[in-house]
Chain A
Amino acid sequence: AQSVTQLDSHVSVSEGTPVLLRCNYSSSYSPSLFWYVQHPNKGLQLLLKYTSAATLVKGINGFEAEFKKSETSFHLTKPSAHMSDAAEYFCVVSGGNTGKLIFGQGTTLQVKP
Chain B
Amino acid sequence: DAGVIQSPRHEVTEMGQEVTLRCKPISGHDYLFWYRQTMMRGLELLIYFNNNVPIDDSGMPEDRFSAKMPNASFSTLKIQPSEPRDSAVYFCASSTRQIPNTEAFFGQGTRLTVV
The interface of chain A, by Cβ under 8 A from chain B, is 32, 34, 36, 42-46, 49, 51-53, 90, 92, 94, 98-103, 105-106
Q: Interface residues of B toward A: which range?
A: 20 to 34
* Contact status B43-A90, CB under 8 Å: yes
Residue B102 interfacial (CB < 8 Å): yes
Q: Compute how far the CA of A64 lies from the CA of B43 in the bound complex, rounded to whole angstroms.
A: 23
A51 lies within 8 A of B107 (CB): no
Do A103 and B43 have beta carbons less than 8 Å apart? yes
Dominant SS at the B interface?
Answer: strand
B55-79 vs A, Cβ < 8 Å mask (1 yes, 0 no): 1100000000000000000000000
How long is the Cα–Cα vector from A95 to B77 in the complex, in angstroms?
Answer: 25
Give the distance to chain B from A39, nearest Cβ to Cβ, in Å.
12
Nearest CB of chain B from residue A113's CB, rounded to whole Å: 26
Residue of A43, A49, A105 touching B106 (CB-CB under 8 A)? A43
Q: Which B residues fall within an 8 A CB radius of A?
A: 31, 33, 35, 42-43, 45, 48, 50, 55-56, 91, 93, 95, 97, 99-100, 102-109
A interface majority secondary structure: strand
The total number of A-B Cβ pairs within 8 Å is 54
Distance between B1 CB and nearest chain A CB, rounded to angstroms: 15
Whether A32 lies near B91 (C-beta < 8 A) is: no
Contact B33 A101 (CB under 8 A): yes
Q: Report Cα–Cα, A42/B109, bound state, in Å.
A: 8
Contact partner, B103, options A42, A46, A90, Cβ 8 Å = A46
Min C-beta distance of B70 to chain A, whole Å:
20
Which residues of A have CB within 8 Å of B99? 32, 51-52
Known: A43-B91, A44-B91, A94-B102. A103 touches B42 (CB 8 A): yes
When chains A and B are docked, how far (Å) is the Cα of A49 from the Cα of B50? 21
CA distance A83 to B108 in the complex (A): 23
Could you tell me the distance between the alpha carbons of A4 and B102 in the complex, rounded to whole angstroms? 17
| Contact between chains at A43 and B108 (CB < 8 Å) | yes
